[in-house]
Structure 1
Amino acid sequence: MGRRLLRNLRQTDGRLIDLVITDGILTEVRVQGEDLSDVHGEGNPDSGGCFDGFDVWEAPAGTYVSSGWIDMHVHAFPEFDPYGDEIDEIGIKQGVTTIVDAGSCGADRIADLEASGRKADTRLLAFLNISQIGLKRIDELSDMSWINRDKVVQAVRDYPDFIVGLKARISRSVVKESGIQPLVAARELSEQTGLSLMVHIGSAPPDIREVVPLLQRKDIITHYLNGKANNLFDADGNPLDVLTDAVRRGVHLDVGHGTASFSFSTAEAAKRHGIHPDTISTDIYRGNRLNGPVYSMANVLSKFLELGYGLEETVRRVTVNAADWLGRPELGRIQAGDSANLTFFTVADEATELVDSEGERRTSNRRIEAKGAVVGDKFFSSEIRA
C-alpha cells in the first residue's frame, strides 16, 4: 500500500490533525500546521496531490476521525434467527472496526464463530454464552443441563484471545422456571475462568433486585436503559439502591439498545441522576438493522447527542472506554507505532427523526454519519481509495 497522508481530519476535541499510514502502521500523528517534512526525511504536507512517495487524501470539510469504533454488544452469527447478522454488515460497513458478539454462541458453536471472524474485515471478539447451545433457542437458560461447566472451561482455554467474557441473559423468556439459578452458575463460572460477566436484564422474574447484587466489579449490565417494568429506576425515575450500589463497586453500565431495550425517558432519568453509560452499544442484528429502531451505531450515537451528551464524551464511550474494558488500550487511541485503526464520521446539522425501543420519536438537529474506516492496510470509504 505504501505511504498515505490523510489531511485535515478533526478530532472530537476540535483539533485538526494529519496522519501518515505506512504499510498499515500509523507512523505519524501531527497537529495540523506542524511541519511533516521529517516524515521519512521527505515530503511537504502543503504541496497537495501525490508527492515524494506519499498518496495524499484531503478530508472533506467537517470530517472527524477517532480511533476505530467498538461495539460491545452485537449478534454476528447469521445462522441463528432472529438474533444474527453478517459480521461486516454490522461492523466495518458501519464504520465499526471492532465488534463483540454478545453470547450468540455457547461452547457448541464458538469455534464456528471464531472461524468466521478470521475471514471478516471487521475485528471480532466474543462473550461466550454460558448455555452450550447459545441462541440456537431463545430460552437457552430454561434447562440447567444446557450449562455444561466443563465445556465452558474448555472453550475459554481453546480461545483465550477471542473470548473476552461470559454472557448470561437473565430475563423471564430466557430462564423461565430456572429463575436466578443460571446467574448463580454464571457467577461460579466467572470465578473458575477469571472472566467477567455480561448480564442481560429484562422482564421479571427474576426481579432486578435479585440480579444486580450478584454482579461484581467489571461485570457488565447491558440494557440498563430499558423501559420495562423490571428496570433499574422507580416510577419517579430515581435509581434503585441496587443500581447505585453496583456503580459504587465498579459494575460497568452498557447501553445495548436493541429492539426492546432503550428508552429515551429512562435515559433522561439516568442522566439526571448522574448514572451515565460506560459504553454505548447497539445490540444490532439483521432485523433491527434493516427495520429499526437500531439501524446503525451512528444512529444510536446520535440519540446520545439528542439527550444532551457532548460529541467527545459520546465517542469516548465507543473508543477509549470500550478498549479499556477489553484490556486492549491500543484500540482506543490514535498513536504512532500502532496498527491503523480509525473511524471517519461527520456531524450533520439537520433535522433527523430518531426512535427508541418504546416507539417514542424525537426530532434531533444533529446526526452522526459514519463515512469510513481504516483497519491496518485496508481502507473502507467512498472517499478514500486504497
Structure 2
Amino acid sequence: MNCSILAIGTELLLGSLENTNASFIAGRLAENGIDSFLQVTVGDNEKMIHRALEFCLSSSDAVIITGGLGSTEDDVTKSALSSFFHRELVLDREIESHLEERFAGIDRTVYQRIKKQAYILEGSRIIQPMGTAPGLILEEGDKLIICLPGVPGEMRFMMEKSVLPLLVSRGKGSQDVIISRFLRIVGLSEPAIETAIMDIVKAQQNPTLAMLPGLGEVQIRLTARARGREEAQELLGTVEKQIRERLGNKIFGIDEEDPEKVVGDMCRKRGLSLSAAESCTGGLFSSRITSVPGSSDYFRGSVVSYSNESKKKILGVRSSFLRSFGAVSKEVAEEMAKGARNLFATDIAVSCTGIAGPKGGTEEKPVGLVFLGLCSDSMLVSERTRYYGSRKDIQYRATQSMLDLIRRFLLGEQLGGRGN
C-alpha cells in the first residue's frame, strides 16, 4: 500500500511550527508495513489544498491529512474537501451534543464558532476525538482519505486508536514491518564515520543505512524491512554489530538515549556523584543533566562562574592563573573543575570555559575556542577544542563535549589534548 501525508497549516510553511505530525505518522505507517513515499505541506488556502489533494490522490492509495479541523477562520480543511469532492458539510447531532455539554454556559457568540467542528462531510465517518475536533474518514472510489486534527496529542490519539487498526483490518497494511534504529555518535565527523564503514555502506540492501549529521553528533539510521518485528530486529542487530566493531565507544547510545541520560545512568550504576563549573555555557550543562528524571541521585550542583571574580571567589581559581593564562585556558579549566569538586564534595567534576561569540575572539584565542576540565580523586585533566556556528550552537556543542568527556572517563579511556 502507498499512503501520502498532507500537512495543512500556514504556520508550518512560515517555520514557526515544526512539522512533527508528518514524521510521527510516517513512522507509525512504516512500523505497520505501509509505504509512505510522499509528504506535502500547504498553507491554509483552499486552492493550494485542492492542488495538493490532486497530486496526492494521483500518487497514493490513501491520503492522511492533518491540520485545519479547528474552529477558527483559517481552519479551512473541511470546506476545501467539501468543494473538492462536491460533498455538502452537514451538522452531526452527536458531535453537536458533545460540544454543547462541554461548553455549557459559554458565550453563545463564541460557541457558534466552536460549533463549526460539528459539521462533517456528507457520507464521511467520524473518528471520535480526544479534544473537540473529530477526525473524518472519507472514501472516494478506491481512494481512502483520512482527516486528523493538527494538535499533536489529538492526532496521535486518533492515529493509534482508530486509523492504524482500520488500515490493518482492511488489509491496507502488509505483513511486513519497517523498523529503524539510530546509532548516535559523538567525537567523529561524518566523513570519518563514512570512511570507517564504507564497505558496509556500499554493501547495504536490507537494512539500509543513512548518515544524519546533527548538532554535536552524527546519527547512523539503520532501516530494516521484514515479515515480522523479531526478524527485522535481527537484521538490525547484525549490521549494528558490524558498525560497533569499527566505531567502538564512539557510539554513545541508540534511538532516544541522549548523552545526559547515558552519563546519568553510568554515574548511578557506579554510585558516583557529579558536579560542574560552567562559564561560556551559562548553565546549559546543568540544565541538560537535570532534565533527566532522578538526576538528584548523582548530581550535586553547579556553579556558573561567568566572571573572573566568581571564578576566584567561589571556585578558588588562582589570580595568577587568570593573569598569566587568561580565563579561556586549560589551566583555568582544570582549576574550575578542581574547585567544583571541592565545593560540592563529589567524585567527579567537569568544567567548561571558552569564547561563545559572536565577538570577543582574537587571533590567538578565536571565537569557538573552548577548554574542558575534569577532576576526580585520581585525575585532573583538560582538553582543548574549537567549535563553529552560532553562539547557541557553540554552547550546545560544548555541553555535548562535557558529557562525552565524563562518559569517556567512566569508560576508562585516555583523556587530554584533543584537536584544535
Which structure's relative contact order is higher, taking Cα pairs within 8 Å and 6+ residues apart? 1
TM-score class, shorter-chain normalisation, is: under 0.3
- TM-score (structure 2 length as normaliser): 0.22
Q: Which has the larger radius of gyration?
A: 2
- TM-score (structure 1 length as normaliser): 0.24
